[in-house]
Structure 1
Amino acid sequence: MSRFAHPAGDRHAEMLPQERPPLAPADLNRINPAIWPRTSSRTDGALTVGGVDVRDLARDHGTPLYVLDEDDVRSRMRDYATAFAGSEVHYAGKAFLCKEIVRWLQAEGLGLDVASNGELAVALSVGFPAERITMHGNNKSVAELTRALEAGVGHIVVDSFDEIARLGYLAEQHGKRPKVMIRVTTGVEAHTHEFIATAHDDQKFGLSLNTGAAAEAVRRILALPQLELVGLHSHIGSQIVDTAGFEVAARRLTALLVQIKDEHGVVLPELDLGGGYGIAYVEGDEAPDIKELADGLREIVTKVCKDAGLPVPRLTVEPGRTIVGPGGITLYEVGTIKDVEGLRTYVSVDGGMSDNVRTALYGAEYTAALASRDSEAEPMLSRLVGKHCESGDIIVRDFYLPADLAPGDLIAVAATGAYCRSLASNYNYLPKPAVVAVAGGVSRVIVQGETEDDLLRGQL
């Protein structure tokens, strides 16, 4: 079983501090290419990303700061486009979305998934082709469906009986016939944290295969001439590192395709297996090879359809984390250092759960390092914490930093490109940090950091 199969998401949860494996000082300076952005290195002791020294980033843009390696992210987009040639690759915008990301997607030939009017607005604002957009969501409003229809999005993934009726009515009113897919809850138990497992019956997403709700959704959509049913959709969870769960989901979806053919004489041409592929966050993590993943999913779909006597549908996948996650880091400045004798040292930085809530939300683990210099000091068991009024305000639960760490040092946390800025908040009225893209030795702001004026705007 991989680390990602541990339900708590923290393999060290029951390990006492004194049981931590010893590290050599040199280990603290190592930048593992499996975890850090592809252009990361140490130059004169300091971490550089995209050819830019993090000390310059802190000086020019302040901290906390989200840093995105443009070459890393765009190369992963190309990797997916190549590996899934002949299929559709739609980036899951919920991982992290801004205008510049949309521009990169358009340039690299990928599609986009959105789950709200706001996400759709970001895409449309820079002229992204609406036909390459899929609209998701378990509770799409009339306004959201109307905007999707008016924009002409390529697919709408329906999630409930209410939505089928709502969309059918709106489509008739607007003279549209949207392509729709049904989100099917396949009952697959993805080996991940319960908050990011999405294919079991007892949760808010989708229409259950086991109860017959998915089959009934097919009947209702086919009864509405203003809707065009083109396929089935499944998403089994997040941070998954093998294809076993996808194989089970594909087999169950194919059985439904057979039922649809037998009952209605309709062969659906598309199958969307969602995303949720994992990345490496800490030493020992395994991340799927994209080509192997693509080949594996194609083989699964081809085999199960052949066994069922069905033509192979057009395959769509929805990676998010695996595209944008590894290329991002978050940069912090150390404020206070507090030794709790016999346990660990608490290192407080100028951000926290407002810019990265994943550790508090579901026990996420991260790799962090002293970034503004290297050090030959002995390793010091540390806990990286934020400045918020919560004892659960933890960024990295337990890891090692050099014992000569001092206030003013910069700490970088790796693999924060996904679900950090997207989940950011203004808790304790901290402004959200800027997002800076780095490439070729140059940094540029792609999302401005908030100011106090931004926090006060709208208050009467």
Structure 2
Amino acid sequence: MTTTARTEGLGTDDAVSEGDGLRTGCRGIPSLSARLEPWMRELLADPTACAALLEEHGSPLNVHDFGALTRNADELTAVADSEGVALRIFVARKANKTLGLVRAAHAAGLGLDVGSHRELSQVLDLGVPADDVVVTAAIKPAPLLRLALDSGAMLVLDNLDEAAAVYAEIAREPLDPPRPVALRLAPTPSDVVGPTRFGESASSWQSWAGSREGSRDGLQIQGIHFHLHGYDPLARAHALGEALGLVDALRSSGHPASFIDIGGGIPMSYLDDAEQWAAFWEAHDHQSDDPTDSLTWRGEPLRQVYPYHQQVVRGQWLRTLLGAEVQPGVRAADALQERELELRCEPGRSMLDGCGMTLARTVQRTTTSDGIPLIGLEMNRTQCRSTSEDFLVDPILVRTGGEASAPVDAFLVGAYCIEAELILRRRLRFPGGVAIGDVVALPNTAGYLMHILESASHQIPLASNVVRGPGGIRRDRIDAVPPQRPWTDAAGD
């Protein structure tokens, strides 16, 4: 396809900051303006480069720049240091499948949290030391357990059946030296902490640790882990208090527990403007019943979405947690210091904040039979979606096509043969219209949104992934890793 790069039609819009031409071609109704990293602005301001990337790699395309990863991690580390707490961060690999993330995390001195046999084998093949890997997979088949034990990666035991499976592996092939494990605690449900499918009670783990299995020479209980739904720091503090009690009990029984891992759930904010977020929900809750005019698709309410604007994120969130009481009159930070315990965490989304965006090509402009305007993109809805119902950030329209349509308020739809095949479930305004071949950019999608639910249904290929770095933009190789490949020359091909 031949493309003509142009920037006309980017006029002033009262819903965006004056002079921000990137935001005037498309906005939500009402706007939810994404935070854009400098590298995103640079690329999106170059229509020729955007069009060339899609020509070379196909649509949609996930573009990454992991420069923000270190900044995001440093925000947490600075708070922990100020509280006198030793913090170790393991980046959640499940949040983004690129090998570029593994390289960037390792180069930044961060660990990797893996959730499958393939994730574990990939990070080990890329040269990440086993000491920098934690295996937290919810389901651990025998091959994954064996690889974790053979490598010496930190293995988080989720339940008693899993512990028995590890015992069976050790019985078949004894291990020397002992392999490190952590026990996943299911905190007692309360007004603060909800029920969870993950882990066992403190009493169950105490009994197991004192049993023949738990005291075998091949294993060493080095820590306690928990995994909670949601983002409430006070819920984490409540669970941390219970984990401290389990650590004390294990230590009194001779187990060298040295850390508590609070899992993920460290929040970030996609939007800087709290007023925009409030205005969106006000409009959402009072939207029209007319499907040709409603804010969301046919007026259907959004019930489960990520909190795209949050005041307390990353560093402030961790400070709140460390300052919370875990025992009467005892702050979390002080309890950890007193026991010389390391605090560990496994953030994904908040570490990948600012590290990627998704580009897609416009291929059609049409309407439903009852008059709802649609803009068809060369992608599908699984390629920008997490477990949340929608991605609530305004796209960016990059003019790379031919003649634009008239101004239009429309929904973005994708390639699957489903009536509600919506890329976003809210109506968007295109004041200058849309042209076939224009590029639509979905900002800040690196954390979960690109990969967690992506599907190749209809045998449509999955999106390609590229990584932007000092040597330019290079394709990320995901499907295969050459064995024993040197770390230094594994730069994203």
54, 61, 70: which is aligned to 1:65? 61
**2:51 aligns to what?**
55
CA change 1:293–1:312 in 2 (3 A) is: farther
List alignment gaps of at least 5 residues for structure 1. 1-21, 192-198, 451-460
Pairwise mapping of residues 133-148 of structure 1 onto structure 2 (< 5 A)? 133-148=133-148
**1:446 aligns to what?**
476
Superimposed CA distance per residue, residues 44-85 of structure 1 (whole angstroms, 9 cap, x where no aligned partner): xx4459xx9423322332311001123233443454455555
Worse overlay, 345-354 or 117-126: 345-354
CA change 1:395–1:376 in 2 (3 A) is: closer
User: Which amino acid is the alignment partner of residue 170 of structure 2?
Assistant: A
297, 312, 315: which is aligned to 1:291? 315
1:171 aligns with 2:170: yes
Measured after TM superposition, the shift of residue 386 of structure 1 is 1.0
Pairwise mapping of residues 65-214 of structure 1 onto structure 2 (< 5 A)? 65-84=61-80, 86-153=86-153, 155-172=154-171, 173-176=173-176, 177-187=178-188, 200-201=194-195, 203=197, 205-209=198-202, 212-214=203-205
Question: Matches of 2:456 and 2:191 in 1, distance apart?
Answer: 32
Worse overlay, 387-396 or 309-318: 309-318
Measured after TM superposition, the shift of residue 170 of structure 1 is 2.1
**1:458 aligns to what?**
none
**1:418 aligns to what?**
447
Question: Matches of 1:235 and 1:130 in 2, distance apart?
Answer: 22
**2:228 aligns to what?**
236
196, 214, 227: which is aligned to 2:219? 227
Measured after TM superposition, the shift of residue 91 of structure 1 is 0.8
Superimposed CA distance per residue, residues 387-443 of structure 1 (whole angstroms, 9 cap, x where no aligned partner): 102234222111423141122111111221122224322111110111111245931
CA change 1:189–1:294 in 2 (3 A) is: same
CA change 1:58–1:25 in 2 (3 A) is: farther
Superimposed CA distance per residue, residues 160-189 of structure 1 (whole angstroms, 9 cap, x where no aligned partner): 112212212323523241111111122568
8 A contact 2:157–2:183 mirrored in 1: yes
**Structure number with bigger Rg:** 2
Aligned-partner SS, 1:185 = coil
Question: Matches of 2:109 and 2:186 in 1, distance apart?
Answer: 29
Over the aligned positions, Cα root-mean-square deviation in angstroms equals 3.6
TM-score (normalised: structure 2): 0.72
Is the strand fraction higher in 1 or 2? 1
Worse overlay, 396-405 or 70-79: 70-79
8 A contact 1:181–1:231 mirrored in 2: yes
CA change 1:295–1:308 in 2 (3 A) is: closer
CA change 1:33–1:179 in 2 (3 A) is: farther
359, 372, 380: which is aligned to 2:398? 372
Measured after TM superposition, the shift of residue 295 of structure 1 is 3.1
Pairwise mapping of residues 377-396 of structure 1 onto structure 2 (< 5 A)? 380-396=408-424
8 A contact 1:138–1:206 mirrored in 2: no
CA change 1:189–1:341 in 2 (3 A) is: farther
Question: Matches of 1:353 and 1:380 in 2, distance apart?
Answer: 21
**1:195 aligns to what?**
none
Identity %: 21
Structure with more relative contact order (C-alpha pairs < 8 Å, separation 6 or more):
2
List alignment gaps of at least 5 residues for structure 2. 1-13, 25-31, 278-308, 481-493
8 A contact 2:90–2:346 mirrored in 1: yes
Question: Matches of 1:97 and 1:116 in 2, distance apart?
Answer: 11
TM-score (normalised: structure 1): 0.77
Question: Matches of 1:216 and 1:428 in 2, distance apart?
Answer: 50
Aligned length: 409
Measured after TM superposition, the shift of residue 24 of structure 1 is 6.6
Aligned-partner SS, 1:147 = helix
8 A contact 1:346–1:382 mirrored in 2: yes
Pairwise mapping of residues 342-381 of structure 1 onto structure 2 (< 5 A)? 344-358=372-386, 361-373=387-399, 380-381=408-409
**2:247 aligns to what?**
257
**2:261 aligns to what?**
272
Measured after TM superposition, the shift of residue 246 of structure 1 is 1.4
